[in-house]
A and B are shown apart, each in its own frame.
Chain A
């Protein structure tokens, strides 16, 4: 069979095209998929271009903002509704990739991007995510960038997104179109931990299409901060990142949302730290205590033990920055 490139014009059409063929995939911005194809990591026989689907809108209705899955990362980061209601999301997007990539990459594509683990990208190396059963190259290999939370003996890769860390913190939901209609899941339930099926990054079922992301309007605008620690000032994946969003009453934290990037196979929500901070004064001691709670269960490998120090520092630093914002 020959390679095919087709365009879908409706969401329903796209879903039915995908259902017909097992080795078909959607392509939107292509900023990750095309790289993967060039490297021989994936070789889909049919690309279904969904760029013309009407899924670019960003709208406010009631108490939630809905973002179309095809909205560009740059458009979302600069959209007045996003800047007004979710500055955290704007910060996170602008911390990711480069402006050129953000001008191509979509919200749905950002969620669907694969790990940047070197072993996943080099088809000569073993990788359970790319080729289940071949082993995890990173486990005993170069694992400086790898997970400290939620890994399994099969995979220690991390999810590379910045946007997704903010969406996880903001209690977003994902609207998914399938053959049987729409379903809605929590954003934090979208991505998976590797477990015994590291080849599965997320809970999207075969034949499904992400159509929207919904974010409930909140009151975190004044106290939101995205801290990204990386090896250079731009265009580098996070060693550790922290999305912090707070509601404050005076110096007291009334509500906290925290998530980390660069530490797990999915955006890593810090629910225990959030619960601890609720009702606490914004003090360095409390930040450190919250960070210590968040670090429970962390496990490092040969080259990423620094994350055990960097991650709690980053949590405390992000909280400090978020709470000091007027």
Chain B
């Protein structure tokens, strides 16, 4: 294969394949679907944080106009999968409407189904519940002593070299860091539309990052044939991890649709988005770091406690990055979870690693200042050329180049390194940087490719596109290989009946599904060559054949080329179809495969009011080949926006007397607005990774965010001399923190 993937090649970078549909509103999201006789579900939720439902009076609601049913633990239809004893390891789980138990405030206790959304909403206010309240624990800070080792294997402890070696170092640092609970808050509300077409067959329009995962969950719960469980999720209005599991309210909707024998659509309210679909769990971390006076790391100890639920364990890789990011002989990590009476968390963009990177990359900055070494230089002095955790090479790593690229772009060398020394009128100016890293995975996926005699290429895979531009990237891969223009290629996704693909999460879709697209296109080329060989190319080898401009032909013999459509017509073949399964080979196991990011930011801090403005951003991605420059850049911009939120504005606040969030709406939970976001420069190394996949491309959704918040906190320190270790950095914290 000579064909190379370049975003800066002779072909211009194409627009998003779904851009027009999205901006004109013709793209349909789950809540926009309607089915004949459709009904509307509205949830009644618990105002109590722990206990049991003593009595539930649904009579008034049932008599209200338009109400068809009120579903609860008193009358739920049988869900075979809920009858089995709970699985070991993660806690009892949440079997919606299966018991009278209340595990968290805002838990659904009933689902009202009516002929209109308004009537269901009104009737839901008529449901009367009485609760037996039990004492509960929601306060993370007050219960840190109740943190436990996670049940998940291997998550609790890691060590190489000596434990707590930093305590013997020439220069030592011990710092504690805190991040609050952060809500995903995609614009699109969560929910589902479910319809039983027969007692054995259910279809769902869902908001999911994995149509196959939703299909499997419902198949298992209701003991159905998989092909009789169909899930559609063509467009997803943002997810960031929120749609990586099938939530109890989705199962409740499927139950309700079964009960009423009609389609039921359920869309959560914004307030409910805070209480029943997970979040990035708050976490407390302690970094111990030791170095020689020359700035060589001698020991790192990273301890973390993350929140989870009492009924279901959630773990994530908070301490992962510390294990391999820097060449340090002694590293140990301890990770615990603190089960509270709250909804279970779920991965949120850059999961765990984004939490951990805030601590590690803040500590690296603190240590650099303590040593009097430039923060970039300090990182380069401790650069890991090979993976110190697994003792094997990285598949590719261009982080030194990325440091240089970012530093040049933002003008790092022009800064005065003394904290509090730079001014812009009344504003203090600061520069900060950080590193991010995330596993570049590749799973297995299947793609069907069909080329027809009308000149169209259809690609199909049951993957989701939650916004990163999966469809666009897949079309780009096929376009480069087949030498076909974008408009002649269509990528179908978001339908569980298509060939299987994993859920979209963990920055692995481009690598996984893209490889299958690659392989399917190669298989298609072979078929086309065979067809052509029958007439034109007898005796020619694969190396002699080129695919370009929608034509197959012999190298150096332009006259031999024939268009794919014409070739099919000449052979009386309406279409050629191939289906390829693609997954990573064993050889890749000898390498550590990661995507990296470097973030540089400039901030302005107003000392009298405490206001922080991010004024410049340069994010550099080292993620192998960049397949689609436009969507890759958008990923980095989105990560920066999310990073500003994590660093400066976002925090879900709970009143622990009640176990309820007090800022569960878009007015009080502050995601960044346009005015908070400066121009974002996103740069890429754009060098192929020789190991991961045929494109040489690594995922980058997570790295766009990982580390970003530390860059902001480090810049705030440089601007003010104030080291703020508890996010978000709101004006009150600037005013109330003393410069060191």
Contact = CB atoms under 8 A, between A and B. Distances in A.
A and B assemble together: yes
Interface of A: 40, 116, 118-119, 122, 124-125, 137, 140-142, 144, 227, 229-237, 239, 306, 309-310, 313-314, 316-317
Nearest 9 A/B pairs, CB to CB: A233-B675, A306-B732, A118-B662, A124-B47, A313-B608, A234-B675, A234-B673, A229-B609, A233-B676
Given A124-B658, A142-B662, A236-B667, 9 more contacts: A118-B655, A125-B658, A141-B662, A231-B731, A232-B673, A233-B676, A234-B673, A237-B667, A306-B731
B649 interface: yes
Contacts of A141: 655, 657, 662
A237 B667 CA distance: 8
Contacts of B660: 122, 124-125
Nearest to A125: B658
B673 A306 contact: no
A142 B653 contact: yes
B639 to A, nearest CB: 18
Nearest to A160: B667
Given A124-B660, A233-B613, A116 B731 contact: no
Nearest to A118: B662
A233 B736 contact: no
Contacts of A233: 613, 673, 675-676
A151 to B, nearest CB: 18
B653 to A, nearest CB: 6
Given A142-B655, A232-B670, A313 B735 contact: yes
B544 interface: no
Contact of A231 (B47, B608, B670, B674): B670
Contact of A236 (B610, B670, B735): B670
A236 B648 CA distance: 13
B668 A116 contact: yes
B610 A140 contact: no
Contacts of B668: 116, 118
B663 A316 contact: no
A141 B662 CA distance: 10
B610 A229 contact: yes
A218 to B, nearest CB: 27
Contacts of B613: 233
Contacts of B657: 140-141
Contacts of B125: 40
A119 B609 contact: no
Contacts of A306: 610, 731-732, 735-736
Contacts of B672: 232
B380 interface: no
Given A116-B667, A306-B732, A316-B608, A231 B649 contact: yes
A116 B653 CA distance: 15
A13 to B, nearest CB: 29
A68 to B, nearest CB: 27
Contacts of A229: 609-611, 731
Given A140-B657, A229-B609, A310-B609, A118 B676 contact: no
A10 B78 CA distance: 59
Interface in B634-688: 648-649, 653, 655, 657-658, 660, 662-663, 667-668, 670, 672-676
A40 B668 CA distance: 18
A83 B272 CA distance: 42
B549 interface: no
B735 A118 contact: no
Contacts of A137: 655
A144 B735 CA distance: 14
A309 B733 CA distance: 11
Given A229-B610, A310-B735, A317-B609, A119 B662 contact: yes
Contacts of B653: 142
B610 to A, nearest CB: 7
Nearest to A313: B608
Contact of B732 (A227, A234, A239): A239
A231 B673 CA distance: 11
A39 to B, nearest CB: 8
A309 B607 CA distance: 12
A119 B658 CA distance: 11
Contacts of A140: 657
B730 interface: yes
Contacts of B670: 231-232, 236
B731 A310 contact: yes
Nearest to B665: A121
A141 B670 CA distance: 20
B107 to A, nearest CB: 13
A68 B288 CA distance: 63
B662 A310 contact: no
A136 B670 CA distance: 24
Nearest to A239: B731
B673 A235 contact: yes
A118 B663 contact: yes
17 contacts: A118-B655, A119-B662, A124-B660, A137-B655, A141-B655, A141-B657, A141-B662, A142-B653, A229-B609, A231-B670, A231-B730, A232-B673, A235-B667, A306-B610, A310-B609, A313-B608, A317-B608
Given A231-B649, A234-B673, A309 B655 contact: no
Contact of A232 (B648, B655, B663): B648
Contacts of A310: 609-610, 731-732, 735
A116 B666 CA distance: 12
A49 B697 CA distance: 59
Contacts of A234: 673-676
B662 A232 contact: no
Contacts of A236: 667, 670
Contacts of A232: 648-649, 670, 672-673, 675-676
Contacts of A125: 655, 658, 660
Nearest to B106: A124
B14 to A, nearest CB: 33
A126 B735 CA distance: 31
Residue among B609, B668, B735 with most chain A CB within 10 A: B609
Nearest to B606: A317
B104 to A, nearest CB: 14
Contacts of B735: 306, 309-310, 313
Contacts of B675: 232-234
B658 A309 contact: no
A116 B664 CA distance: 12
Contacts of B648: 232
A232 B728 CA distance: 11
Contacts of A124: 47, 658, 660
A271 B573 CA distance: 89
Interface in B609-649: 609-611, 613, 648-649
Contacts of A40: 125
Nearest to B675: A233
A116 B736 CA distance: 25
A25 to B, nearest CB: 19
Given A118-B668, A232-B648, A234-B673, A314 B655 contact: no
A235 B676 CA distance: 11
B407 to A, nearest CB: 27
A152 to B, nearest CB: 21
Contacts of B731: 229-231, 239, 306, 310
Nearest to B676: A233
Interface in B682-740: 730-732, 735-736
A222 to B, nearest CB: 20
A191 B672 CA distance: 32
A278 to B, nearest CB: 24
A314 B676 contact: no
Contact of A313 (B609, B655, B662, B673): B609
B662 A122 contact: yes
Contacts of B658: 124-125
Nearest to B651: A231
A313 B426 CA distance: 13
A116 B649 CA distance: 18
Contacts of A313: 608-609, 735
